[in-house]
Structure 1
């Protein structure tokens, strides 16, 4: 095509002898043809350039992963599900226009080693975000859409219900109703086995694992409690709690109740396995100093009965003799031998470990001796009296 154009130019510019007047006319006519030819050249080269740019753009888009440039606009809620890979998350984000392509998110996640810490849950993100920004947004827990609740170690079930209700606006009664059937919440039946001859009371107490939760939006009271039960099962599985308790000829439920007692009585974590040892010694080899009976005589059990009845807990010094002798309180360990009907709170991991592997010692008594909560342990009542005097001098008894 370029050769034909050059020939056309040569033809228009060739001189014609003997007809000068006609040469001028042909010159004007030739100029018009030259203009046309020039326009054709411009159009052709312009077309080639346009085609070239179009082709280059196609190649560039093929070689470069599509990604948004800006920080994003608007808002959208997405869910990262359990087991989601970077590809799955990328597809989720692409489908709601958070990222321009799933591949851009995959590459951004691969480039950020922290991406492996993205947690399951719901997140509020902007639309049309740069993929690397989307990764950072998923790592920022401030973008989580959840009901956050912290359950401290030793919290009772009815205190848990109130904390959950306050955070979720679900009425306390719905939690109480859901808790009536622990097995429906995921507690395996084998847990409700006692080592004594007392009847089993199937209670949720002890199975609501204490930690900080981020509950997904829209969960019911039953679903929230089921999440907590699953966390308990996960924790006890990690500790090998069931097998280690049974290796000591203790049922897992008995060990759970012991953990709740030591959680309530210990002022510091270091005392948890020691208090557990006191409980086991009292139950399985009661000494003459405690009357030769497996009677725990722990004020915290009286208080649990009070709280179940809707009354406030009391400091030990304020518990009356009538309350110590109250036969209507099944949790009264000053009056009843053995373990109480149920756990008296929801113990944490350290208390579970203490009940599973108690400290070695022949103690039957203990008392807090300072304001930091440290306890002194004694084998005999005479030693206990000395420790109680220390507690009085420290102003804690």
Structure 2
């Protein structure tokens, strides 16, 4: 219709020798408008005739031209979550689902009119039911309404240590975390993560999947909610790193699970961030390379086993021969190949080190200073010289 009007103006400028054609077009246009008005009247009559159902239809019809919105500041108190990466539309849908605003459009309209809306932080917020879109936005922009109930889980903690820390901070009994952790698949760990290519038996343990980070939770979370969030963060981080794909492409047939075990070993053994990748390389070289026993020979695996059976962990020099080489210990440092599971929950840097370690034929390492730096060696003779350095520095007896 716009095109027809433009044509009519063009023709009037050129002269009046086409008036009859113009009148036909005007008649056609009037006919079109008449039909539109008639159709609108019929819709309204039908809606009125349908009673309550008609009013619902009219309300929806009206919604195309108006923004459904509550008036005022709302009532009561509810909690909603703004997730990492949520856009205004995502937040709006969350508010609608919670009964906080009348329509997503009401919140989006308020957000579009306020540049500060882009600074809404992820987390949990106290809001009200049946608020206007403007009120909802103002509550989310006021950090006084943000529920800060979070905690930080450190890198390198075992699952058992993690439950202890979480229990102290949440007052949730340790046994509830242990019960929730019995089924890693139910917590969100995909079945394929436990596949191995080294012929060892698959053990479904939550160890390694409780990603160390800072978390925020709603009031009174359950053990299952907390552990699921930690697993989800693990999957997010490793997904962004393309950990599984990179391991399978670069590590010569080693499974992602075996690489996760190596990441946990590096997290436990490396005294410095700079050495994480080198320690991972040593683990690969020992278990899959030219090391005579093709075993790890790392005392941290012994300590993991001691802790798992309720015994105290020890310094390497204090361990007895029976503890170091216990044949009943599935984490025995002399057993060929990789151990059954990770021995802690490694952070991103350790995962990166296991995924893409620096090239090297190192088989030995020892800490040589009080900052945790290590010296790495390919032969035992080189390693002995590095141990002499460590003794002179007072790092080892």
TM-score over 0.5 (shorter chain): yes
Taking structure 1 as reference, are residues 102 and 258 closer, same or farther at Cα in structure 2, changes over 3 Å only? Answer: closer
Counterpart contact for 2:70–2:131, Cα < 8 Å:
no
Contact 2:70-2:133 at 8 Å conserved across structures: no
From 156, 159, 166, give the equivalent of 1:157: 159
Mapping for residues 163-242 of structure 1, pairs under 5 Å: 163-242=165-244
Partners of 1:94 and 1:251 in 2: how far apart? 44
Deviations 1:226-271 (A, max 9, x none): 1111111111111111111111211011000000000111111111
Q: TM-score scaled to structure 1, two decimals?
A: 0.72
1:261 equivalent in structure 2: 265
Distance 1:111 1:312, change over 3 A: farther
Provide TM-score, normalisation by structure 2: 0.72
The answer on 1:77 being equivalent to 2:71 is no
Change (3 A) 1:141 1:239: farther
Counterpart for residue 16 of structure 2: none
SS at match of 1:184: coil
1:349 aligns with 2:351: no
Change (3 A) 1:389 1:189: same
With 322-331 and 202-211 compared, the bigger mean Cα shift is at 322-331
Q: Check 1:135–1:385 CA distance in 2 against 1; reply closer, same or farther (3 A cut).
A: farther
User: Taking structure 1 as reference, are residues 163 and 147 closer, same or farther at Cα in structure 2, changes over 3 Å only?
Assistant: farther
Whether contact under 8 Å (2:288, 2:337) holds in the other structure is: no
CA distance in 2, matches of 1:94, 1:86: 12
Q: 1:386 maps to what in 2?
A: 385
| Kept in 2: contact 1:267–1:368 (CA 8 A) | yes
2:162 and 2:80 map into 1 onto residues whose CA distance is 27
Are the counterparts in 1 of residues 75 and 131 from structure 2 also a CA contact under 8 Å? no
Name the CA distance, whole Å, in 1 between partners of 2:142 and 2:320.
52
**Residue 206 of structure 1, CA deviation:** 0.5
Compared CA separation, residues 139 and 368, structure 1 to 2 (3 A): farther
What is the distance in 2 between the residues matched to 1:358 and 1:91?
44
Aligned partner of 2:296 in structure 1 is 296
Structure 2 counterparts to residues 117-136 of structure 1, below 5 A:
117-125=119-127, 135=137
Is the partner of 1:124 in helix, strand or coil? strand
- Give distance in 1, aligned partners of 2:272 and 2:280: 13
CA distance in 2, matches of 1:354, 1:261: 11
Aligned ranges 1:322-337 → 2 under 5 Å: 322-333=322-333, 335-337=334-336
Measure, in 1, the Cα distance between the counterparts of 2:144 and 2:314. 39
Separation in 2, partners of 1:351, 1:139: 37
Equivalences for residues 349-388 of structure 1 within 5 A: 349-388=348-387
Cross-structure match for 2:280: 276
Q: Output one character per residue of 1:156-184: Cα deviation in whole Å (capped at 9) or x when no partner.
A: 10111112222222211011111111111
Q: Which moved more, 1:216-225 or 1:231-240?
A: 216-225
Structure 2: 5+ residue runs without aligned partners? 1-65
Q: Secondary structure at the residue paired with 2:202?
A: coil
**8 Å Cα contact 2:125-2:145 kept in structure 1:** yes
**Residue 143 (structure 1) aligned with residue 145 (structure 2):** yes
8 A Cα contact 2:264 2:350, kept in partner: yes
- Kindly state the Cα deviation for residue 76 of structure 1 after the two structures are TM-superposed: 2.8
Query: What residue is the counterpart of 1:315 in the other structure?
Result: 315
Distance in 1 of aligned mates of 2:197 and 2:119: 43
Task: Give the 3 Å change call, closer, same or farther, for CA 200–100 of structure 1 in structure 2.
Answer: closer
TM-align CA RMSD = 3.3
8 Å contact kept, 1:295–1:336: yes
Check conservation: 2:366, 2:390, Cα contact below 8 A. yes
Larger Rg over CA atoms: 1
For residue 316 of structure 1, report the CA deviation from its aligned partner: 2.2
Count of paired positions: 327
Q: Which runs of 5+ in 1 are unaligned?
A: 1-61
